[in-house]
Amino acid sequence: MKTLLVTGGAGFIGGNFVLQAIADGLRVVNLDKLTYAGNPETLASLQDNDAHVFVQGDIGDRDLLQRLLREHRPDAIVNFAAESHVDRSIDGPAEFVQTNVVGTLALLEASRDYWRELEGDARNGFRFLHVSTDEVYGSLGDTGKFTETTPYAPNSPYSASKASSDHLVRAFHHTYGLPVLTTNCSNNYGPYQFPEKLIPLILHKALAGEALPVYGDGRNVRDWLFVGDHCAAIRRVLEAGRVGETYNVGGNAERENIVVVKTLCALLDERQPLTDGRKREELITFVKDRPGHDRRYAIDASKLERELGWTPSESFDSGMQRTVDWYLAHQAWVQHVLDGSYRMQRLGEGAAA
Ligand code: NAD
């Protein structure tokens, strides 16, 4: 059975990835600091599963990393751990540099030292996969798409910190030979997303019949990818990606934010109409735009399709339906995030163990 060291596996994408990997028969050592974005409840179904070892700790903790690598001897490392919310990076960039840059550097150094000690097949097969974002490429005009060779031009403290980490990952390959892979993905949505991000935030407020805040004129365009498809892409790159390469991951589903919000409104109206007869679209309220808000992202994921045969399985419509149905069926998960009780949950060993 293969063992993965997954960082940030109690977050949105990492949590989905861990659940999928374990269902597919992999063993996962899950290192997560459990910041506000880490949610043990996402992993509750793995509580008694020996294939999952949860460790609360920081990717910047070199002693802990060394101990985990020696003890668990992973075949690969998948780095999801990050501060991930653009608005929070505008209010306080330092934490983003600390985890996304300094933390990733510590993880890279520990991984390099571990990899150097491996021999034979273990050494040849080892991979360090870094999960990154399309936001590193900056903003597009009305046409064109980001490819793997688009120059980096990050515009927010979040994307600047992710860009820095991507460069470090690249440098560790070129300088030390570490067998790295990087994926740059568009906006994800789906189960277990923290309700500060657009889709779960809108779903929560729309269910409650509250005003639905939309930045600026709502015409900012993002490409949307169902989280399960992103996880499958990462697994595919891990299995067959060419060492040292980067792969763009996208859903071929560019939509204006306002279209996303109206889609969610319509799906909720169908499933659970408001009792006072209002249509949820009436709740949309345009609010002051985010400073430096990138206008358009679009991703060309043809390299991943051509080289590794990956394409998304969900369309925008089917993915949105699945997401709305998941949130309706998991209101307790959302409620525990909103009332803060998710932070009381505990899983596995603590950092000091
Ligand atoms: P998230 O904020 O939901 O989860 C991040 C996880 O990392 C949390 O569980 C948190 O506790 C953990 N973490 C934070 N700092 C840590 C540290 N110092 N040490 C260990 N764990 C730490 O984020 P997400 O949306 O799941 O994103 C995961 C990764 O994917 C990030 O690297 C992000 O940049 C990237 N990404 C996200 C999207 C998206 O749409 N959400 C798109 C492309 C790429």
pTM attached to this predicted model: 0.96
- Checking if the pLDDT of 196 tops 90, the result is no
% of the chain with per-residue pLDDT over 90: 94
Domain boundaries of the chain, sorted by first residue? 3-288+295-344
Tell me the CA–centroid distance for residue 209 and ligand 1, in Å.
Answer: 29
CA–CA separation, 277 vs 275, rounded Å? 5
Q: Which residues line ligand 1 (CB under 6 A)?
A: 7-8, 10-14, 31-35, 37-38, 58-60, 80-84, 99, 103, 131-133, 162, 185, 187-188, 194
SS3 295: coil
Q: Which two tokens stand for residue 90?
A: 């505008």
Per the annotation, the verdict on 71 as an active-site residue is no
Q: Please check whether residue 294 is in contact with residue 138, taking contact to mean a CB–CB distance below 8 angstroms.
A: yes
pLDDT beyond 90 at 346: no
Structure confidence by residue, pLDDT tens digits, 251-291: 999 999 999 999 999 999 999 999 999 999 999 999 998 88
- For 83-94, how does the pLDDT look when each residue is reduced to its tens digit (9 = 90+)? 999 999 999 999
Architecture of domain 3-288+295-344: 3-Layer(aba) Sandwich (3.40)
109 is catalytic: no
The helix (run of H) or strand (run of E) holding residue 261 is: helix 257-271
Burial of 156 (0-12, 13-18, 19+ CB in 10 A): buried
Give the pLDDT band (50/70/90) at residue 349: low
The overall average pLDDT reported for the chain is 95
Residues forming a β-bridge with 214: 286
- How many angstroms separate the alpha carbon of residue 81 from the centre of ligand 1? 5
Q: Which atom of ligand 1 is nearest to the CA of 81?
A: 7
Among 34, 35, 99, 102, residue to substitute to test ligand 1 (most atoms within 8 Å of Cβ): 35
Confidence of residue 351 (pLDDT cuts 50, 70, 90): very low
| pLDDT band with cut points at 50, 70 and 90 for residue 344 | confident
Rounding to the nearest 10 degrees, give the CA dihedral for residues 55, 57, 62, 65.
20
Confidence of residue 348 (pLDDT cuts 50, 70, 90): low
- Of 75, 134, 229, 294, which residue is the catalytic one? 134
* 148 classed as catalytic: no
* Structure confidence at residue 310 (pLDDT): 98
In this prediction, the answer to ipTM > 0.95 reads yes
Residue 350 pLDDT greater than 60, yes or no: no
**What is the rounded radius of gyration, in angstroms, for the C-alpha atoms of the chain?**
20
Cα–ligand 1 centroid distance for 270 (angstroms): 32
